[in-house]
Amino acid sequence: VGRAVGRPRTPQLNSERIGAAALELVDADGNFTMPGLAQRLGVQVSSIYHHAPGRAAVVELVRDRVTSDIDGSWFDTLPWDQAIDAWARNYLSAFRKHPAAIRLLATETISAPHSIAVFTAAASSLYRAGFPDNEILAVITAVESFILGAALDAVAPATMITVSEAEGTETLRLALAAAPSGPARAQQAFDVGLAALVEGLRTLLLDHTESSGP
């Protein structure tokens, strides 16, 4: 037959296909390599470099795919505290659809340019609610930090804290026994943390608006 060589009549590769294939590999193996990616695309490794300037760029394509599910429309329709709750749950669930991807993506900045839309909506919402200008970004960042930490916690291998016979671990053993196990463990931690965080923000806001008057 003879292998086609040289520029093909119609391009066979693009960022979309590359990102999709890479995410599939991550979902399946927890990681991806350039050779593995090329194989799955039925292409030579060097071909990929015509569409993405390196492995790091492919990782960003994966990030775009994973985070594309997140939207911040709640901030336009719900009260700020409910919006944060909805956003956080949506955020976490986007990552939970691709558990293995979290470790790949967590080490770089979360704030992909596409999430500026969310930032915009969130900032407006918090501003309307009465948060001081110079704290708005901090509030958003704090919530995002918690979500990312919770996402990493959710994919952590079953902790299996085996407590030895040491003294003073009575209460810890009790707490371990009473705590849910499996996926429910991380979920409960997320629920409790998010509830506390939002509730605390409510109090902080109240302090601000009270002291500054109507």
1 binds, among DNA, a second copy, none (CB under 5 to 8 A by kind): none
Question: Taking CB under 8 A as the rule, which mask of x and - marks residues 144-183 in contact with a second copy?
Answer: xxxxxxx-xx--xx-x-x-x--x-xx-xx-xxx-xxx---
Phi, psi for residue 73 in degrees, rounded to 5 = -65, -20
Question: Taking CB under 8 A as the rule, which mask of x and - marks residues 189-208 in contact with a second copy?
Answer: xxxxx-xxxxxxx-xx----
Answer whether 58's CB lies under 8 Å from 79's CB: no
CB of 1 vs a second copy, minimal distance in Å: 43
CB of 18 vs a second copy, minimal distance in Å: 23
- For a second copy, the binding residue among 69, 82, 138, 183 (CB under 8 A) is 138
- For DNA, the binding residue among 16, 20, 26, 34 (CB under 7 A) is 34
Interatomic CA distance for residues 198 and 88, integer angstroms: 11
Span from 11-19, 34-42, 46-54, 113-121 in contact with a second copy (CB under 8 A)? 113-121
List the Cα angle 70/74/75 in 5-degree steps: 110
Cβ–Cβ contacts within 10 Å for residue 2, how many?
A: 4
Residues in contact with DNA, counted by CB under 7 A, come to a total of 26
Give the pair of three-digit tokens for residue 212.
């500054």
Span from 10-18, 39-47, 58-66, 119-127 in contact with a second copy (CB under 8 A)? 119-127
List the Cα angle 71/120/188 in 5-degree steps: 50
For residue 36, state whether it binds DNA (rule: CB under 7 A): yes
Q: What residues have CB less than 8 Å from 136, skipping those under 6 apart?
A: 123, 126, 127
